[in-house]
Amino acid sequence: MKIYYFLSSLTRPKFQEIVGKIKILSEWQTPETLIDRYYQKMWRYQSDAIQEADFLEALSYVKHLQQELSISYAEILTQIEWIYDENFFIFNEELYIQRATGINSIDYSQQEIRFVSARDSFQAPFFLILTEIANSTSNLKIIKLNSRLDRWMYSDKIYYISLLYRDREKYFWDIAFPMFLNPTPRFVREFFSFVSERMGNKLLVKKNFMEMWLGVRALKVDELWDDRLEYFIEKFIPTKPMTFHGIYVLPFMDIKKEYRIYYTMQGKQVKIYSVKNRRNTVSEELFQKSSFSIYKNIPVAWEYMEPVLLGKKELDFIKKICIKCLDKCWVLEFFEDSFGKLHFCEVNFLGGSLMFIWQDQENMMKYYEDAFQLHS
């Protein structure tokens, strides 16, 4: 068993103090004796006492493990890594940890792996995807007091990706989800170098919340010089890594045609009202731009497509995604690459209506009317 116990919400000196105290556990030093000696009590003042509940919680978990596994405290401590500023990331279904010594694989195929905390928030998007991976194996566990990952409250991009993740190979391409507890330029560059070895030098980085294409960036990894990297870190990597905000990384693809589908769903019946195709004019200059801001950084042309012109391949793709996403109305975006393969892009917040004249005006009005009817 390998356990990653998170204490990253502490200051570094307090983290070092708490872990230092825990490491003296032995047959004659138990959680009870350490708490009695070092934990602050009411009505008893100690200048060297620890007041943080993290200390009590971590020792309680160690005691729980001793009772669960029936092994010594010394053996238990060899299985726990105390996490403060290590980075983690997911590449497809593979897990990795990034330390000062480099990037190492976390192999959950041969042993049980636990991510544990009582106090650290596990609400980074990384944990949402990790939960989906954990659902397919008994060797991966996320242990967090009062965890609410099963009640994700945001309709962000990674949420919809998580709903489709068990069928990742059908709907996606290679994809990575980093969680930077330590977003220094060295570590960020090392992460992107690692990913580029698997995805190629040209990458696409997306924030999980909608920002009208300002939260999308094209990168050439071999051009991530220090000044550009620092600007990227400032604009794209959350300063509070355990919040709902995060990024994900994809290979940059040659898009043949992009689809925006306005639909409603009742039961398992999907009704398509309007289809817009978007054609982008992409040049090498895009990799020097700070975002995917359309019109400004990417010339865009919108085209209207009659829904009846969608082929069986597209219709099957749309229906399967809509059923998995469960919502009664939304806007689905996907694209066809230069090899004819369809890729899921995102489901978004009833984005701009992009209404064309004549028939599309009637279709879009009907779309919104039916959406309200489904929720009445």
> Taking 80 as the threshold, does the pLDDT of residue 281 lie above it?
no
CA distance 337 to 344: 11
Residue-range domains of the chain with CATH = 2-84 (no CATH), 88-105+123-130+151-251 (no CATH), 255-374 (3.30.470.20)
pLDDT in tens, 105-161: 999 999 999 999 998 989 899 999 999 999 999 999 999 988 877 777 788 899 999
pLDDT in tens, 344-360: 999 887 767 888 998 99
pLDDT of residue 150: 74
The pLDDT confidence band at residue 211, using thresholds 50, 70 and 90, is: low
Q: DSSP of 296-357, one letter per residue? A: TTB-EEEEEE-GGG--HHHHHHHHHHHHHH--SEEEEEEEEETTS-EEEEEEESS----PPS
Q: What integer is the mean pLDDT of 163-177?
A: 92
Report the mean per-residue pLDDT for the chain: 90
The pLDDT confidence band at residue 291, using thresholds 50, 70 and 90, is: low
Query: Lowest-confidence range among 74-88, 125-139, 195-209, 230-244?
Result: 230-244
Phi, psi of 290, rounded to the nearest 5 degrees: -85, -10
Following CA atoms 160, 163, 167, 169 in sequence, which dihedral angle do they give, to the nearest 10 degrees?
20
CA distance 314 to 55: 54
CA distance 115 to 92: 18
pLDDT in tens, 220-233: 998 887 777 888 89
pLDDT of residue 278: 85
pLDDT of residue 249: 96
CA distance 169 to 183: 29
pLDDT of residue 68: 94
pLDDT of residue 101: 95
> Taking 70 as the threshold, does the pLDDT of residue 239 lie above it?
yes
> Taking 70 as the threshold, does the pLDDT of residue 204 lie above it?
yes
The pLDDT confidence band at residue 172, using thresholds 50, 70 and 90, is: confident
The pLDDT confidence band at residue 312, using thresholds 50, 70 and 90, is: very high
